Structure 1
């Protein structure tokens, strides 16, 4: 197995990539991380998929090991779609699979709808394909939290104090329920915090997973899911903020869409049930080959 890494020039700066090559002739899978502004850090365990095919990670511009330009006009969906196309060309990817997680599924869908050539399959892992529907789901999820936590969240949002310690502490309770249920929280994930860029996240999404105020807040591609005419797999955790109900709904709109729930997971099944996650993803990719 060989590993190559380097930088690719894209609109606005240089992005870091890493390719794990299994020296097979199977089409590679390119991994689109969540966020926006998070990095590939938490997904690096998916390199084990390279036993079957090449796996390509990259940190989107603004986070991880990539450049962090200060031009805030760069933080929009269209530029990230162009970035992925620039990476595809630089790495000479004629045919490839796409695995998007969370915001990475938003990017994967937008990319396919504008640049479908060469995409063999898409895995929508814990998808966000409709920001309005996501926001509705989080309203329901919040009602499952302790009353005092709900109250703190609501008051901070109404008062514009979402950068306060109280809001951050209440957000941690939400995350423990719907983002990552591992207890204790993995030490290695805490180290990944430095790779994140909260500014990108705030501009595009908002102050938290469940309070959508950024420029993605009206994104909704559900009407186009009928046009995805390639093998498509939708997955989520049983306790995922990307709810099983919405994820199954998206899959039902896609011709031949497949659907899988990881029963012991929230939003990070690749960490919460890593062996099962890799098996499900690997089996799907093999079925497409």
Structure 2
């Protein structure tokens, strides 16, 4: 396994490449998180894939230089492919990385062998309200009471107090992402931080406009790339919107992972690995 920092699209991006076979790139979530997808890489059949993992600009070991916007992140990924000398690859993303994979595959479909979309949100704006309701419902009564209270007072806070409150709200929210909340300490973070907040806010600010407009929806409906959309059954981000999106694509399968939340490899890795490897066997390794 070789870790590399290379100049790609004007910034230094940390990445690693290991294995041999068909290239597959793994896209972490956030935006502004870091490469936490080693457990997903370990689920792939040995000897069949050249696995590429990288950290998006603004993330831990990559350069913290903007612009932080969706088009730039798409172009970073394309320039990484060119830098690595790859003609085509499988694109696999989780959470925000699933959205990035979808956007990249729509713009650069000729370079994509297959798309794997794990724990995304779909493109129907109705998911936001349902997610907020599901998130509250998955909290314990004590956590729910604290969450509602902190949300009601956070705007009256400043400086360090407000920063601490934001982190506590994030922790309460993240706990609902897990089917088994005992796995909370296994959630990805660096030095106690879950994301680079600047990246998260800037990319997040244009997320709805980019992914939920009719132009983008029409573009993805024309995409014929073999695709697998995977979702944990208890993820508070409702799976019905992801299934709706999958049904509107021309060559797409949807798989629901039982007893799993937003990070299905933490809750039910065997079922996740089975779905991914069977899909790749049918559409990529044939």
Question: What interval of TM-score do these two structures reach, taking the shorter chain for normalisation?
Answer: 0.7 to 0.9
Contact 1:6 1:17 in 2 (8 A): yes
Mapping for residues 1-289 of structure 1, pairs under 5 Å: 3-22=1-20, 24=21, 27-40=22-35, 42-48=36-42, 49=44, 51=46, 52-69=48-65, 71=66, 74-130=67-123, 132-144=125-137, 145=139, 146=141, 148-149=145-146, 151-152=148-149, 154-156=151-153, 163-179=162-178, 181-187=180-186, 189-190=188-189, 193=192, 196-205=195-204, 214-219=205-210, 220=212, 221-289=216-284
Query: Which shifted more, 156-165 or 75-84?
Result: 156-165
Query: Which shifted more, 255-264 or 188-197?
Result: 188-197
C-alpha separation between the residues in 2 aligned to 1:97 and 1:184? 29
Change (3 A) 1:61 1:166: closer
How far off its partner does 1:88 sit? 0.6
CA RMSD, Structure 1 to Structure 2 (Å): 2.5
C-alpha separation between the residues in 2 aligned to 1:243 and 1:170? 20
How far off its partner does 1:267 sit? 0.5
Contact 2:183 2:266 in 1 (8 A): no
Task: Please list the CA deviations of residues 258-278 of structure 1 after superposition, one character each: whole Å capped at 9, or x if unmatched.
Answer: 111111111000222222212
C-alpha separation between the residues in 2 aligned to 1:202 and 1:132? 18
What secondary structure is seen at the aligned counterpart in 1 of 2:207? coil
What is the TM-score normalised by the length of structure 1? Answer: 0.84
How far off its partner does 1:67 sit? 1.3
Change (3 A) 1:241 1:225: farther
Change (3 A) 1:225 1:247: same
Counterpart of 1:211 in structure 2 is none
C-alpha separation between the residues in 1 aligned to 2:236 and 2:181? 15
C-alpha separation between the residues in 1 aligned to 2:5 and 2:166? 37
Q: May I ask how many residue pairs the two structures share in their alignment?
A: 272
What secondary structure is seen at the aligned counterpart in 2 of 1:151? helix
- Give ranges in structure 1 of 5+ residues lacking alignment: 206-213
C-alpha separation between the residues in 2 aligned to 1:195 and 1:43? 14
Contact 1:236 1:242 in 2 (8 A): no
C-alpha separation between the residues in 1 aligned to 2:124 and 2:30? 13
Task: Please list the CA deviations of residues 69-95 of structure 1 after superposition, one character each: whole Å capped at 9, or x if unmatched.
Answer: 2x4xx1000100110110010011112
What secondary structure is seen at the aligned counterpart in 1 of 2:221? helix
C-alpha separation between the residues in 2 aligned to 1:288 and 1:108? 17
Contact 1:39 1:64 in 2 (8 A): yes
